[in-house]
Amino acid sequence: MVRDTMRGGERTAHDSGPAALGGERVAYDGDPARFIELDGVEKVFDVRRKAGLLRREKHQVRAVDGISFTVPRGQMVGYIGPNGAGKSTTIKMLTGILVPSGGRLRVAGIDPSRERTRLARRIGVVFGQRTTLWWDLPLRDSYCLVHRMYKIPDARYRENLERCVELLDLGDLLDVPVRQLSLGQRMRGDIAAALLHDPEVLYLDEPTIGLDVVSKAKVRDFLRDVNADLGMTVLLTTHDLTDIEQLCERVMVIDHGRLVYDGGLSGLHAVGESERTLVVDLERELPPIDDVPGARTVRVEGPRQWLAFAATASAAPLVAAVAERYPLVDLSVREPDIEAVIAKMYAERSAER
Ligand SMILES: Nc1ncnc2c1ncn2[C@@H]1O[C@H](COP(=O)(O)OP(=O)(O)OP(=O)(O)O)[C@@H](O)[C@H]1O
Ligand SMILES: [Mg+2]
């Protein structure tokens, strides 16, 4: 087992102290297309591994291995990848919690690890696995502390709190200590806390983890609003691909610390060679259809047959071929399952290695 002997200088969300986060916010006058900018960013962790009863071996983990991308202002981007791919490490570097081992990184023109407190004014962070709220305090008191820490003007604070309470359905929860909240309630509380100081960028590390479908829908609706109404730039990591499908125009896939895909969801289908399915109902039970070029029958149940074909191909010639040769009663086309595309992509990369 790999045991962390070093946390890479990791800091917690609030360790700068209340006074430290005040100060003026200067408008970003750089290129809006490069609002977030990473150029060859690396993070290497030194860890010690047990190598016998008493012996420990030094060992390095390249968690992020030369990542470059830019995110324009106002975009909502999905950042996905298998466990241990380096997603959280990237987000921690973007917030200044971790210092990169190499490369260049800028958020709104600021180098996060050098000017962490100046950056804190402009970013909001939610770690689904760990709350940034004060465990023993009611939500309301946690928010008061955020109000003071960030020196949010009173009127602005009240307005933002009201908006979050309404849209995230927090009204009945404000006086409940954080430790008594359910996971879904706590997550909504955390998201509100991250937005009270009007950040321009929101990082969400698995904001829907462990939530039921209703809570997930609530969180997604809220994030969609925040991105559309406030033009907030959002970077979202998740293992729930429905989050991505419903929220993100762009998705980046990271694997073993490297960016392996950057583009739209539809492009991912092409890269993953995903398939659509033609479902045909025939007049009667027949042997599997095997004479339609470009399609292969993957399932037969009574008179119904499922024919897989390349997602990028047109269904029309297949339908025509089936109709010409078989007694066709009904048909439908099923879109490819993004979950399957991603799983295939991860598996293929792992086999390559
Ligand atoms: N503080 C640390 N010290 C040592 N190694 C670390 C540390 N943080 C992360 N790692 C290692 O770096 C790699 C990337 O971890 P990271 O948490 O960024 O992955 P992730 O993509 O967020 O995964 P998950 O989907 O499981 O959250 C892993 O191999 C992990 O063990
Ligand atoms: Mg993670």
Instruction: Provide the CB-side half-sphere exposure for 148 (13 A, CA).
Output: 9
Mean pLDDT along residues 171-190: 94
Number of domains in the chain: 2
* pLDDT cut 90: percent of the chain above it: 68
**Closest residue by CA, ligand 1 atom 8:** 89
DSSP 181-228: S-HHHHHHHHHHHHHTT--SEEEEESTTTT--HHHHHHHHHHHHHHHH
Residue whose C-alpha is closest to residue 89's, from 39, 44, 132: 44
Distance 67 CA to ligand 2 centre (A): 16
Question: Same structural domain for residues 239 and 158?
Answer: yes
Question: Same structural domain for residues 100 and 243?
Answer: yes
At residue 268, the pLDDT reads 80
Residues 107-149 pLDDT 10s: 999 999 999 989 999 999 999 888 889 999 999 999 999 999 9
Contact predicate 171/190, CB 8 Å: no
Contact predicate 338/265, CB 8 Å: yes
Q: How many CB atoms lie within 10 A of CB 20?
A: 14
Distance 91 CA to ligand 2 centre (A): 9
The sheet carrying 304-310 orders its strands as 295-301, 304-310, 275-282, 328-334
Which residues pair with residue 130 across a beta bridge? 127
Residues 251-276 pLDDT 10s: 999 999 999 999 998 788 777 777 88
10/52: higher pLDDT:
52
Structure tokens at 222: 């809220």
At residue 23, the pLDDT reads 54
In a domain, 179, yes or no: yes
Question: Same structural domain for residues 154 and 129?
Answer: yes
pLDDT band (50, 70, 90) for residue 210: confident
Distance 210 CA to ligand 2 centre (A): 14
Residues 49-83 pLDDT 10s: 887 878 888 889 999 999 999 999 999 999 999 88
- Name all residues whose Cβ lies below 6 A of ligand 1: 4, 7-8, 10, 45, 47, 61, 63, 81, 83-89
Distance 84 CA to ligand 2 centre (A): 7
Question: Same structural domain for residues 166 and 38?
Answer: yes
Residues 106-121, buried b or exposed e (16+ Cβ, 10 A)? bbbbbebbeebebbbb
Show the domain range for 158.
31-268
At residue 20, the pLDDT reads 43
Question: Same structural domain for residues 161 and 261?
Answer: yes
Lowest mean pLDDT among 159-168, 186-195, 203-212, 268-277: 268-277
The sheet carrying 250-255 orders its strands as 123-127, 201-205, 233-237, 76-80, 250-255, 258-263
Ligand nearest to C-alpha 252: 1
Tracing tokens 């490297």 back to the chain, one arrives at 258
pLDDT band (50, 70, 90) for residue 48: confident
In a domain, 217, yes or no: yes
pLDDT band (50, 70, 90) for residue 336: confident
**Closest residue by CA, ligand 1 atom 17:** 88
In a domain, 349, yes or no: no
pLDDT band (50, 70, 90) for residue 17: very low
Distance 1 CA to ligand 1 centre (A): 14
* 3-class state of residue 277 by DSSP: strand
Contact predicate 333/279, CB 8 Å: yes
**Closest residue by CA, ligand 1 atom 6:** 45
Question: Same structural domain for residues 168 and 284?
Answer: no
Supply the CATH number for residue 84's domain.
3.40.50.300
**Closest residue by CA, ligand 1 atom 27:** 83
Question: Same structural domain for residues 44 and 113?
Answer: yes
